[in-house]
Amino acid sequence: MMDTAPPSPSQPAAPPRDLSTVVVPLLKGVLYQEENPTLWGSLLNLEAHVRDYVAVLGLELMLDEAEGYAFLRSRPDADEEGESALPRLIPRRQLSYPVSLLLALLRKKLIEFDAAGGDTRLILSRDQVVELLQIFLPAGSNEAKLIDQVDAHLNKIAELGFVRRLRGQGQMIEVRRILKAFVDAQWLAGLDERLAEYRQHVAQPAEETDG
């Protein structure tokens, strides 16, 4: 009988062949269950392998099975000593004041929507978004200019993956639930105080902060 030795502990098992089919889309952006249920199922099956693999890259998997989304972010310790040589695969983004304000308002709207129960999708019109912003703008602001600016801000937020425009309804958006991960509970604790600061900000004469 041929003697078969167990694999050496120094030689870890190779990752599954289909691991790249899950990791590559995650490196490109957010993965949503509703948009790709097959890929979502693969992610759940390979979750442990994905976590181990992306950890080598200085990333961590953020997965919310209940809400149906997953994404990668840089590990909090990725910039500490010993990790500084790792390239940053997930860039940090500096958001303009209006975009930050709109994200805060949409997050607050999502809280109110969830508290009311009912539908799981928060759908807003562009006019409703304009109304959210108007109270933070100086009196007498040009409404036509404001609408153009709101469209630009929404395009930026859609690019970041926090909202999406409904197909065939250009003036309607859905607030994506991944915004809950970006604006967390700790940040929300001081939301009203931050919104008060925003009001003070717009009350002062300042240069255009939109970028």
Asked if the model's pLDDT at residue 45 lies above 90, the reply is yes
Residues 6+ apart with CB under 8 A from 120: none
Task: Please give the torsion angle defined by the CA atoms of residues 120, 121, 127 and 129, in that order, rounded to the nearest 10 degrees.
Answer: 80
Task: Return the CATH number of 97-203, one of 3.40.50, 3.30.70, 1.10.10, 2.30.30.
Answer: 1.10.10
pLDDT band at 179 (very low <50, low <70, confident <90, very high): confident
28-37, 83-92, 125-134, 165-174 — which is least confidently predicted?
Answer: 83-92
Looking at residue 38, its pLDDT comes to 94
**Residue that has been written with the tokens 């097959």 in this structure:** 38
Looking at residue 84, its pLDDT comes to 44
Asked if the model's pLDDT at residue 209 lies above 90, the reply is no
Looking at residue 50, its pLDDT comes to 94
Tell which wins on pLDDT, 67 or 138: 67
Looking at residue 201, its pLDDT comes to 64
Asked if the model's pLDDT at residue 108 lies above 50, the reply is yes
What does the buried/exposed string (b/e) look like for 111-121 if buried means 16 or more CB atoms within 10 Å of the residue's CB? eebeeeeeeee
**Residue that has been written with the tokens 């759940």 in this structure:** 44
Looking at residue 174, its pLDDT comes to 93
How far is it, in rounded angstroms, from Cα 204 to Cα 194?
Answer: 16
pTM: 0.65
> CB-side exposure of 37: number of CA atoms within 13 Å?
1
Mean pLDDT of 111-129: 86
Mean pLDDT for all residues in the chain: 77
Tell which wins on pLDDT, 67 or 119: 67
Looking at residue 124, its pLDDT comes to 93
Name the residue type at position 41.
G
pLDDT band at 79 (very low <50, low <70, confident <90, very high): low
Q: What is the DSSP letter of 176?
A: -
Domain spans of the chain, in order of start? 1-92, 97-203
47 touches 74 (CB < 8 A): no
Helix or strand holding residue 23 (H, E): helix 19-28
How far is it, in rounded angstroms, from Cα 210 to Cα 99?
Answer: 8
Asked if the model's pLDDT at residue 61 lies above 70, the reply is yes
1-10, 47-56, 167-176 — which is least confidently predicted?
Answer: 1-10
Task: Please give the torsion angle defined by the CA atoms of residues 74, 76, 81 and 82, in that order, rounded to the nearest 10 degrees.
Answer: -50
Q: C-alpha 196: how far from its chain's center?
A: 24
Tell which wins on pLDDT, 77 or 111: 111
Q: Which of 16, 43, 20, 19 is nearest to 31 (CA)?
A: 43
